[in-house]
Structure formats: structure tokens, C-alpha cells
Amino acid sequence: MTKKRPALSKETEIVHGVHDAHVTSMDLVAPIHMTSAFRFKNSGHGAALFSGTQQGYIYSRISNPTVSLLEEKMALLEKGEAAVAASSGMAAIASTVMTLAKPGDNFISCTTVYGGTFAFFNQRLRHFNIETRFITPAEACKPGSIEALIDSKTRFLFMETPANPTLDILDIRMWVDIARRRRIPLVVDNTFATPYLQNPIAMGADMVIHSATKYIGGHADIIGGVAVGKKSVIDRIKEEYVHYFGPIMSPFNAWLFLRGIKTLAVRMEKHCANAMAVANFLGAHPKILKVYHPGLPSHPGHNTAKAQMKHFGAMMAFEVRGGIEAGKKVMDSVRVCTLAVSLGDCDTLIQHPASMTHSTYSKAEREKAGITDGLIRLSVGIESADDIIADLGNALSLLKSK
């Protein structure tokens, strides 16, 4: 008999998650089900599984116990009914968009999103006659500006907060009010915040998407994506796209994500504390023009972030005096920070959005999104904050004083 589990704190849920799910023995850690297919007890059993009159596993492209466990855990942490795991964050986004919108439809997105997301929205979806109606970060804070873009063919709203790479903060509850009033879903990319810092579904959003590659995995060694929402919608995403287009997550990657999740709370506490120390250091440095981090009271989204996030996150951006050449000097001179794209790793990562992650934008599109040529993005890791600050300080000391 399974013991009833008491109500748990978020930290304990992150470690324990779903109870006794798919455990076939007394394993402390759930096993990896590395199999392409599953045996049937008899022909009747196989027929019942295929007809859907009996629950079980048939083929790992359709479902797998290890992947199912990750999906259940992500649904639990994001407070949704169900989840679907995919081969990458982009696979999760693409499968969700193609499920919610059909040829002739449109949806609304802020211009400031991950570069791969922007390219998919701005370029690839045109081939499917699906229109993305972009709104600038400034207009995304005005309900009237958002509603002015909605018509009878608008199928959903899409937002990313904190936004990549400018750390714009959008008011989730304001967007929820619009979505409910217009009876369309709100989809939130929660990659930067993680379910430990922010739960959009609990605030009224319909769906949450993660590039699990980042903080969910936490160690820069796996690629994957997850979408969480109502079971009816998640079932459609699985059945209409993931099962047939095949962007599935492997059981081994699902197992690695489950392992990564166990340390999510302790990692995020360290990430966030380090980031706040680094933001304060950069904010006071004479060779820094501007720091973009919602934890700083000077950030325009500070109060909104404070209301909807547990902490302010580990991502930031900054601009140095001297423009892009000075920025290159800083990136090429660091020794503790690593010059690499991606984020959410234990290591501190530094990169140049305009020439790297957001090179999919034209210069005009970058300017509209607030991504300047001199912007440097920093994913603050879990090293000693003093060492990160000393490294950045040494690199900044090499710049000429004005």
C-alpha cells in the first residue's frame, strides 16, 4: 500500500517529485528504460494498448517510462496537468506552435526572445502561412497595444520573461488578463527563471515551455525541451506532432534531466546570490555604461520581477564604455568566465548576442528589440562570486580610461 505523502515545500518537491512512478523494483533512483519497444503479455494485451483501452507502453517514440517520469515531474513543478518532453527547447516550441496555430492563423510575441525562437517565428513559420505579430518590449507593457494586434485569427500569446538577452521583465498577470478576456491561451517561456523561481501557470498562464538544456539539466551536457500545460493540449502536441514528426527525448537524456533537477533549488540559490553580487559590482564600475539585471532597483522591471519571482535569476547583460571593440576585449580577456553560448551551466558563460545567439536578427530588428551592438550577456555560474568579480575586474582594467 502506497503511503500518502504530506504537502511538501518546493525544495522537497524538486528532490522527491513524483512518488513511486514507473519504479519496477526497489531502486532508490529510477532506472533508465533503454528499449525501443515493450513486450506484450499476449495478443489481446497488445491490441488493448494500441486501441487505448488499456494504459501501458508500446514503443519509445510514443512513450517511455523514464521520459514519462520526467514529464510528470516537470508538470508537478510547474503546477500543470501534464507535460511533453522533446529533443530540444526549439522542438518543444515548434511542436507547441504548430499545434496551436494552423495556416492562416496568427499569434503575438514580444520581439525580445531567444535568437532561435525569433528566427523560427520570423522566418520559418512563413512557409506554413502562420503569421507572428511582434510587439516591442515597451509596447508589451501596454495592454491596449497588445489587444490592438488581436483579431479573430489570433490563436495565442507568447512571452519570455525574463527576456533573452536584455532581461526585460513582462507582467505575466497583465498578459493573463488579456488572454482570458480574449479567450486565447498564454504561453510563457520560463527558461531563464526555472520552476524554482517562477510559476506562470500558478499565475494563470496556460502553458510553460523550457529549454531544459539550461537550468533543468544544469551541467551543459544534454539537450532537451519540455512543454507543460493542460492535459488536453499536451495530448494534442504529443499526438499531432511529437509522435509523428519524431522530436522525442531519449530515455538517457530524460534520466540525466531527472538527476539535474534534484539539485535545482541549491544551484539556483547559489546562481542568484552570485549574480546579485556581480550585478552590484558591475553597476558601480566606472567602465560600465549599463547593467541589465532585474535585481537592481534601477531596472525598470524590478518591482514586477519582485512580485512574480522568488529571486531575480542568474542572467544579466551589460554594456562597456568603448562599444563593441571594448566588449570584445573584455570577452577575450576573461580567464574564469568561459566564452561560450548557452546558459544555466555551473560555469559562468559570457557571450556577445549581436554576433552570436541573436545574429538571426537584422540590425534594425535588434535595435527594435533593445539588443545593442555592445551588449554582452553573462550567465553567472556557481563558482566563488569573488573569483567571478575578480576575473571581470581584471578584464575591465585592460580597457582604456575615457
C-alpha cell recorded at residue 155: 490563436
Three cell numbers written together for 133: 505579430
CB burial of residue 103 (10 Å; 0-12, 13-18, 19+):
exposed
Closest C-alpha to 193, from 304, 97, 283:
304
Backbone angles phi, psi at 264, to 5 degrees: -55, -45
User: 135, 393 in Cβ contact below 8 A?
Assistant: no
Residue 220, SS3 per DSSP: coil
Distance from C-alpha of 253 to C-alpha of 275, rounded to nearest angstrom: 28
Catalytic residues: 61, 114, 189, 214
210 beta partners = 226
361 neighbors 115 (Cβ within 8 angstroms) = yes
Residue closest to 223 by CA, chosen among 123, 341, 112: 341
Indicate the angle between helix axes 251-261 and 65-77, nearest 10 degrees.
30
- C-alpha neighbours within 13 Å on the C-beta side of residue 236: 10
Q: Which of 113, 153, 147 is nearest to 129 (CA)?
A: 153
Query: Which has the closest alpha carbon to 95: 276, 238, 220?
Result: 238
Residue type at 42?
Answer: N
Ordered DSSP codes for 238-282: IIIIIHHH--BPPHHHHHHHHHHHTTHHHHHHHHHHHHHHHHHHH
Residue 28's CB: how many other CB atoms inside 10 A?
A: 5
CB 289 within 8 A of CB 283: no
Are 392 and 281 contacting, i.e. CB atoms less than 8 angstroms apart? yes
| Three-state secondary structure call for residue 229 | strand
Torsion, Cα of 66, 262, 164, 319 (10° steps): -150
